[in-house]
Structure 1
């Protein structure tokens, strides 16, 4: 048994212990038919990333659950991995190349991918190493990557399966297009930002009547792609215009007036322009009315021109245009302008023509790319899509029937809302880094072949000129398969049969539709069962002011820096303490520091135990003879075991850790250790040995209960106290036992402790030092109970002697009342009444003088008009404290009188 250092230094402990765990392979899980499996798959962080406070929260919660289940005897697998993050990773690599003066086109696809894989090898493992600092107990032998061979094989398998089932198709549909990244992105990857803009009120002449229709738009540049204007069929104002046409300003082009419900009679003029190629609602209107789809933007954010039209006509001539392929407009004088420059020019020209009626300022939410924050352009584009309706229905049913439960239950609303309103999922991305779509086209006849392996011969015409689709799949397509692809699917591995469905998914509420939904329908469709039984949703961690952490605000917290300063256990304990399912929490360095102080408190208490068992053989079993205080602490600990387990079962981690904190700090450190010092320092060796045995027993259980939350310090202490086994993390998690349910004794001891607390409070209010002893009289109907506490009253309540009876009549005594006793302390034994009155009156006079001075300043108009606000607030606060102090002094004087 080694000796603990004088003070706890996480830097000297945490790395050493983590390496010990790694060296002994304690995190590894294997298929064991004799044990019940428990599995969590880690939400894979991007390889571009580094550990941030959100990662720290998410993975701390997972580690608590996995360590707890492992100690309960489950074969617990926490499967880690990272995501290739197509857009983010490609953007970083392109940016690095830009600084070298190199472009993707300069390198070519193969050379670019070589560079991408080299980048992944160099930087991709950075976040994994940072997870080690946090103490996460992942099975690193099973670490996966969304583009490793197994996951890539699963991606191809699923793509082909869905295609063969008619659930994947290629077509021209409205997508979110990022002109900067030059790729489509999903609805879930569009972030909305409040921006200042305008409603431009434009006049469209009606061909048949000559009247002007007023149309308001936030994007005048799209009007070149208008193919209709819409009115509501019920709108009496425009009944006479059914079947009429307007002349599109600037292009002098005739377009129809259509009747459609999209035109809201209650909004604006009730007339809306329809641009099917550049607005998702307009696209649907266009389909309903068979309107032409005219594209007037290029994919890099400029207005289309003659060259774009020529390229379109060439494809048309070759018969390579598919259904709903947008026509391309030559924008004439605006061709080649950025959309923003074109907007200015179009507004100027409309003004010159007298067709701009009004400019109305407004603030509105604008969709931006989640990665580069460029404004998103809705565009009709030829992409690959997944039909979502057939996949969404089973995923909805799985939660409604309870196959998968959300914690908290209210999170289901987000899940249902997204699935019930889901659109087909655009899964193709115009990127090079990612899973390339397994589709091949014949350059000669246009035949399309979907294949897991490369196709070099056209099955239709025999041509050897086959080209693979250049696009890659949405990152979320591969991560949607994560719970089963990581376990070996499509191979029917032993791990897959044993660990799937996984048990718990831990994630933030901001990612329910990003990832949870996709894993649900993918797992059900490909595995025939839900991917996880429980989805534990936690909130976000915000700054101390409640703001979301962001680079722009500069309010982010680097968990590695926090660990360096306070230790991983302190950070973990803070993150668990503030956690409530589904609710946000605020970061507070002060609270992290308090958690570090808690670790020191436990460490120092453990050192006390170790110093007092040194040189003694202390078994891990309890002695036969237990005193009242022993039964109290054991019974309280026993209840704690039950409560903490129940809280963890309900994912109430914050409640569980608070109960542990209260027991360790108050019951064990502040009470029990103090109560046992009498026995430890007595001449009665049997009493001293019994005290040692109970202290070690309780400390052992405390460390095991606390281990999932604070793994490093608990392992360090446990290794130094009497123990069996090689690591605390494989010990049995403490359980409730009827044999230690000393409820009556615990209640009796609590009565004694309540009395001691009340006495100490009263003495403190009277400023009586602990060294001042006084006789204590206890009037109670349960004398036998209080007789057990005589020595405790002497040691902890400064009693010189104790007398217990039914009642006492003592003149000039301080009286303290609890629910079970009336306590009397002779006043003359506590204080020199006259001296104390003299001291209190002097203090009262000084405080009243200071208050008078402060109130004089606050009542002086000249001072109040010139003094800085901070100075005035300081004096106000000071005056308030003085008033409170005066009230307390007067109460103390009355007490003495």
Structure 2
């Protein structure tokens, strides 16, 4: 019609979103009673949580399975963002003026600035290609993981009044949080606008703020990036080993290192107190080999071990894990039998088949984790 009347095409680009279904994959219907009213969801969870949920699930070529549980999770994400600003406020980050891009000297601050540039590029690429779910998920991982879980935690010693990096860290934290608000604003406009207006005097509203154009080529410090990612990877590996071996959460354990190159040693020396505090490590000793009952932990350029003999009952722990694994294998066998049966796939509703496949994948992942834990225990015998 547009061509017929004025000779112009009506749209340059058309984006067709997927069908929104219920959590079991069924089409929403009043007769089935499975309709989720968006206005009611907004009243209960907030518009930002609903918007972020729909965006994060908007993968191309796949229908959305909407559930209140998912929306609750993304409401918690908004709470996490708000609490990060509360933490910054309690540490005198917000002085009334907007934060300019800092030029830090501390490795931690260099690292988070590079991570901010990295996610900015990732979000831009996703939005350009209409992969809105990729943009949302990248921001979720960055804000919750890199900023709230790691940077906020690691910055606490640097924010102490007597720390030489305190002012620099305040500037960096303020700038990073501002970038979080700008990048999240298209998806979560209400909470970001509120935080934008209440944390500093601004020349204009967030909706009118300039979209950032910095790149990793401009801001990424390769040495800081390598060192902090090494530290985070080591802490995560130690925590994972402790969890698998059922080591009490509050118990500090000694650690042994058998091999360590210069870069790994430097990373350890620069961050020793931080690693010990967050991984609950009591001490680090050099040894030629691991004693019996040691769980090995690999890191780039180093081989660490946690000597757990005497801290856990290996036989009892193996029996516990094996019992859980046997139960899981029985469930996996049943699910595989159903899914490998052509009659089941032909006659069962599509959502039932999809649910069985999801359950199988989840149980297989859990079984793999138990197998890995048993393999660690076998190393200790």
Q: CA–CA distance in 2 between the matches of 1:787 and 1:643?
A: 32
Partner of 1:503: none
Q: CA–CA distance in 2 between the matches of 1:842 and 1:825?
A: 21
Q: Which of residues 260, 268, 276 is equivalent to 1:780? A: 260
Q: CA–CA distance in 2 between the matches of 1:573 and 1:844?
A: 38
Flag the 1:887–1:632 CA change in 2: closer, same or farther, 3 A.
Answer: closer
Q: CA–CA distance in 2 between the matches of 1:635 and 1:893?
A: 38
* Count of aligned residue pairs for this structure pair: 340
Q: CA–CA distance in 2 between the matches of 1:886 and 1:621?
A: 48
Deviation of the 1:892 alpha carbon? 6.8
Query: Is 1:771 aligned with 2:250?
Result: yes
Partner of 2:291: 811
In the superposition, the TM-score normalised over structure 2's length comes to 0.78
| 5+ residue gaps, structure 1 | 1-521, 855-876
Q: Which of residues 80, 92, 98 is equivalent to 1:613? A: 92
Deviation of the 1:537 alpha carbon? 1.6
Q: Secondary structure at the match of 2:35?
A: coil
Q: CA–CA distance in 2 between the matches of 1:682 and 1:734?
A: 31
Partner of 2:199: 721
Query: Is 1:677 aligned with 2:156?
Result: yes
8 Å Cα contact 1:573-1:709 kept in structure 2: yes
Flag the 1:538–1:843 CA change in 2: closer, same or farther, 3 A.
Answer: closer
Deviation of the 1:572 alpha carbon? 0.4
8 Å Cα contact 2:88-2:94 kept in structure 1: no
Query: Is 1:760 aligned with 2:239?
Result: yes
Deviation of the 1:542 alpha carbon? 1.6
8 Å Cα contact 1:609-1:696 kept in structure 2: yes
Q: How does 1:87-236 map to 2 (within 5 A)?
A: none
Q: CA–CA distance in 2 between the matches of 1:765 and 1:844?
A: 9
Deviation of the 1:839 alpha carbon? 5.8
Deviation of the 1:647 alpha carbon? 1.2
Q: CA–CA distance in 2 between the matches of 1:742 and 1:620?
A: 20
Flag the 1:889–1:818 CA change in 2: closer, same or farther, 3 A.
Answer: closer
CA deviations on 1:773-805 (whole Å, 9 max, x unpaired) are 2343443322333333223212211223446x7
Partner of 1:697: 175
Flag the 1:887–1:623 CA change in 2: closer, same or farther, 3 A.
Answer: closer
CA deviations on 1:438-493 (whole Å, 9 max, x unpaired) are xxxxxxxxxxxxxxxxxxxxxxxxxxxxxxxxxxxxxxxxxxxxxxxxxxxxxxxx
Partner of 1:527: 6
Rg bigger for which structure?
Answer: 1
Query: Is 1:823 aligned with 2:301?
Result: no
Q: How does 1:267-416 map to 2 (within 5 A)?
A: none
8 Å Cα contact 1:539-1:584 kept in structure 2: yes
Q: CA–CA distance in 2 between the matches of 1:536 and 1:734?
A: 25
Deviation of the 1:655 alpha carbon? 0.9
Partner of 2:334: none
Q: Secondary structure at the match of 1:533?
A: coil
8 Å Cα contact 1:638-1:741 kept in structure 2: yes
Q: Which of residues 131, 152, 156 is equivalent to 1:652? A: 131
Flag the 1:770–1:676 CA change in 2: closer, same or farther, 3 A.
Answer: farther
Flag the 1:529–1:808 CA change in 2: closer, same or farther, 3 A.
Answer: farther
Deviation of the 1:620 alpha carbon? 0.7
Deviation of the 1:895 alpha carbon? 5.0
Partner of 2:355: none
Query: Is 1:600 aligned with 2:82?
Result: no
Partner of 1:570: 49
| 5+ residue gaps, structure 2 | 331-359
Q: CA–CA distance in 2 between the matches of 1:559 and 1:844?
A: 44
Partner of 1:712: 190
CA deviations on 1:602-641 (whole Å, 9 max, x unpaired) are 1222211111116857761244433222222111110111
Partner of 1:799: 281
CA deviations on 1:638-662 (whole Å, 9 max, x unpaired) are 0111121121111111111110111
Deviation of the 1:681 alpha carbon? 3.1
Q: CA–CA distance in 1 between the matches of 2:300 and 2:119?
A: 24
Deviation of the 1:597 alpha carbon? 1.4
Q: Secondary structure at the match of 2:250?
A: coil
Q: Secondary structure at the match of 1:788?
A: helix
Q: Secondary structure at the match of 1:822?
A: strand
Flag the 1:765–1:889 CA change in 2: closer, same or farther, 3 A.
Answer: closer
Q: CA–CA distance in 1 between the matches of 2:220 and 2:266?
A: 21
Q: Secondary structure at the match of 1:816?
A: strand
Q: CA–CA distance in 2 between the matches of 1:585 and 1:844?
A: 36
Q: CA–CA distance in 1 between the matches of 2:134 and 2:370?
A: 39
Flag the 1:887–1:647 CA change in 2: closer, same or farther, 3 A.
Answer: closer
CA deviations on 1:211-262 (whole Å, 9 max, x unpaired) are xxxxxxxxxxxxxxxxxxxxxxxxxxxxxxxxxxxxxxxxxxxxxxxxxxxx
8 Å Cα contact 2:184-2:192 kept in structure 1: yes
Deviation of the 1:539 alpha carbon? 1.8
CA deviations on 1:676-699 (whole Å, 9 max, x unpaired) are 111123622x32222111111111
8 Å Cα contact 2:117-2:219 kept in structure 1: yes
8 Å Cα contact 2:111-2:220 kept in structure 1: no
8 Å Cα contact 2:22-2:67 kept in structure 1: yes
CA deviations on 1:100-156 (whole Å, 9 max, x unpaired) are xxxxxxxxxxxxxxxxxxxxxxxxxxxxxxxxxxxxxxxxxxxxxxxxxxxxxxxxx
Q: CA–CA distance in 2 between the matches of 1:648 and 1:844?
A: 44
Deviation of the 1:814 alpha carbon? 3.0
Q: Which of residues 117, 122, 137 is equivalent to 1:643? A: 122
Q: CA–CA distance in 2 between the matches of 1:776 and 1:682?
A: 32
Deviation of the 1:756 alpha carbon? 1.2
Q: CA–CA distance in 1 between the matches of 2:207 and 2:182?
A: 8
8 Å Cα contact 1:755-1:821 kept in structure 2: no
Q: CA–CA distance in 1 between the matches of 2:288 and 2:235?
A: 19
Flag the 1:824–1:892 CA change in 2: closer, same or farther, 3 A.
Answer: closer
Flag the 1:793–1:682 CA change in 2: closer, same or farther, 3 A.
Answer: farther
Flag the 1:724–1:838 CA change in 2: closer, same or farther, 3 A.
Answer: same
8 Å Cα contact 2:57-2:133 kept in structure 1: yes
RMSD of Structure 2 on Structure 1 (CA): 3.3
Q: CA–CA distance in 1 between the matches of 2:169 and 2:302?
A: 28
Query: Is 1:625 aligned with 2:104?
Result: yes
8 Å Cα contact 1:790-1:802 kept in structure 2: no
Q: How does 1:472-621 map to 2 (within 5 A)?
A: 522-581=1-60, 583-613=62-92, 620-621=99-100
Partner of 1:185: none
Higher strand share: 1
Higher helix share: 2
